[in-house]
Amino acid sequence: MQLHEVYKNQALKEFGEALGKAIGHEKDYASLTDFESAQTKVDFADALHRFLRRFHTMASKRENLWYCPSDSGVEELAALVDQVAREIPGDMQVQEREAVRLVRAALVSRALARATYIRVEQDKESTEGGQ
Amino acid sequence: MLYYVTKTGLDAFDTARAWGIAIVLNTLTKDEVNIRDVDWAYEVQPLSSVPANPSLSSNRAWVSIFAEDGWQRIFMTVRSGWQDRQDEVRQRLESKLSNVLSNLMNPSNTVAFGTGQSLPGGLDPAGFKGLRHITKARYGEGQLEVEENHWTLACLGMATCGTYRYSKEAGQSNWLVLLPGPQEVRFNYFRDMQDLFRLRPGLRYHGVQNAAAHYAVQLAERLRRRAAAQRSLQDRFSSVLYFRLFGAGQQTKPAQGNQLRLEPLMEAIARDPHGSQAMLEWLDYCFRLGSTKGAEDLALAATELVMRWDTAAYDRLIRVSAHVIGHEQLRRRNPRDFDRFLRATRNEAVFQEVMEVMSHAIT
């Protein structure tokens, strides 16, 4: 399974959008760093859980409603890591590490596009507000 | 008529000779010349036939070639007399032209080593050895000498198609040297080729790999524009040869060289010249913003991706980019490139295209 196929996964899309919002609006780099340090499937799932809790807190403080990814999405992404790992050659440790890296790369790509979109919109608003 | 530049294994020397003979044939015929890499040699073919009594000396285009800056750079490892060597190249090609051309028409022509002119470090780092002048310590090593006719063609090719960029890193003076390797290229006029090989001025590069990767992206973007206009990719390059020359006390010496494969970028352009535009622009902005103080990570991560096209490199670039967008200090330092980078990064098609390139590069 290659990166562009993983990128299309629905649960990954939802989490990526949420992470993008968290980075773009709330500058939540703690979650990004959490994902960066994940090496195993368990680390990655923990990082997803922690992010979800943070995101719920952020969403609850906002006036306009934010769509939150579901808990089942975490399981779906963990299963995706397993699926990717099975297709990677090498021992189990290598398979897991590479699979986490691939899924994370797809997740952060989604988040990056969303976060920059938000930043550009914010810049536009501040420019228009200034005028 | 086909001309053969048989390969010796000295990559920069071989590639420079191919460009060199293409320039000679283009100047003589005033018409297009095709260069094709056939593994064991470069086949060079002019579209129009070469005149019966070819002469270069009265040709205006030929004279202008010797006003190029590259000449001095080639002979950077030689302490003095670069102009004498430049004159030697010119005179030799003017006087022995028929001999040079007839030799290259033979597919089994080879380059004799051990006699002739020594290869300067600014031309080929692999062929460079020893010192070019006598020192008090009497240190000396044998220099690699090559046949004059081939040496002249290599010097001509490198002076016109090679790129030399001065850079100072940690107090060390460096020259970054880049030369594109043709896969299948039509050579129209040497100034057109120089436009294609131009490296954006004013940027600070973090090492020769960084410069080579940005050069590759800029070359790919220029080829993409042509391909989009012509609806197919007609000129293909296989690699960018790069090496560094550094100031070592009394002399400049070559160091650290390799080649960057261009197939992934060429295939991406050939697949979809319009679709690859956003990706190439994004990579260009990564390099431009990466030349700003504080964004070195971005430049190095983009370099890694262009060199390897694998998941680890992509993962790193994407994570570094996510950190960069929140770097307000960087925005204050280079607002123009920062904003351009933001606008390019918000486009999801960029990442999908990079992933597409990676999927083809891996298989």
Mind listing the pLDDT tens digit of every residue in chain B (363 residues)? 899 999 999 999 999 999 999 999 999 999 999 999 999 999 999 999 998 888 898 888 899 999 887 898 998 888 778 889 999 999 999 999 999 999 999 999 999 988 899 888 889 888 776 444 556 666 666 778 899 999 999 999 999 999 999 998 878 889 999 999 999 999 988 888 888 898 888 899 999 999 999 999 999 999 999 999 998 999 999 999 999 999 887 788 888 789 999 999 999 999 999 999 999 999 999 999 999 999 999 999 999 999 999 999 999 999 999 999 999 999 999 999 999 999 999 999 999 999 999 998 864
pLDDT at B272: 94
| Contact indicator for B302, B346 with CB cutoff of 8 Å | no
| Chain A, nearest residue to B349 by Cα | A113
| Contact indicator for B5, B17 with CB cutoff of 8 Å | yes
| Chain A, nearest residue to B316 by Cα | A105
Q: Which two tokens stand for residue B253?
A: 């010496």
Q: How far is A29 from chain B (nearest CA, A)?
A: 8
Q: Which two tokens stand for residue B20?
A: 């060199």
- Give the whole-angstrom CA distance, residue B184 versus residue A130: 53
Q: Interface pTM (ipTM) of the complex?
A: 0.94
Cβ separation B322–A111 shorter than 8 A:
yes
Percent of chain A clearing pLDDT 70 (strictly above):
98
- Give the whole-angstrom CA distance, residue B246 versus residue B162: 17
Q: Please give the distance of CA B44 from its chain centroid, rounded to a whole number.
A: 18
Name the nearest CA neighbour of B11 among B198, B275, B186, B261: B261
Q: Please give the distance of CA A4 from its chain centroid, rounded to a whole number.
A: 15
pLDDT at B320: 97
- Give the whole-angstrom CA distance, residue B69 versus residue B241: 19
Cβ separation B322–A104 shorter than 8 A:
no
Spell out which residues of chain A touch residue B304, defining contact as CB-CB under 8 Å: none
Strands (E), B142-250: 145-146, 163-169, 172-187, 236-248
**Nearest-CB residue to B325 (from A4, A7, A116):** A116
Tell me the average pLDDT across A96-100: 95
Span B347-359, pLDDT tens digits: 999 999 999 999 9
Each as own residue / partner, the long-range contacts of residues B81-88 (CB below 8 Å, 24 or more positions apart, any chain) are B85/B155, B86/B155, B86/B159, B88/B152
Cβ separation B318–A36 shorter than 8 A:
no
Q: How far is B237 from chain A (nearest CA, A)?
A: 26
Span B59-98, pLDDT tens digits: 888 999 998 878 989 988 887 788 899 999 999 999 999 9
Q: How far is A79 from chain B (nearest CA, A)?
A: 20
Cβ separation A113–B358 shorter than 8 A:
no
| Contact indicator for B303, B291 with CB cutoff of 8 Å | no
pLDDT at B131: 46
| Chain B, nearest residue to A26 by Cα | B326
Cβ separation A105–B346 shorter than 8 A:
no
Q: Tell which phi-psi region holds residue B243, choosing left (phi > 0), alpha (psi between -120 and 50) or beta.
A: beta
Cβ separation A27–B326 shorter than 8 A:
yes
Q: How far is B198 from chain A (nearest CA, A)?
A: 31
**Nearest-CB residue to B311 (from A3, A27, A110):** A3
Which helix or strand (DSSP H or E) is residue A81 part of?
Answer: helix A71-86
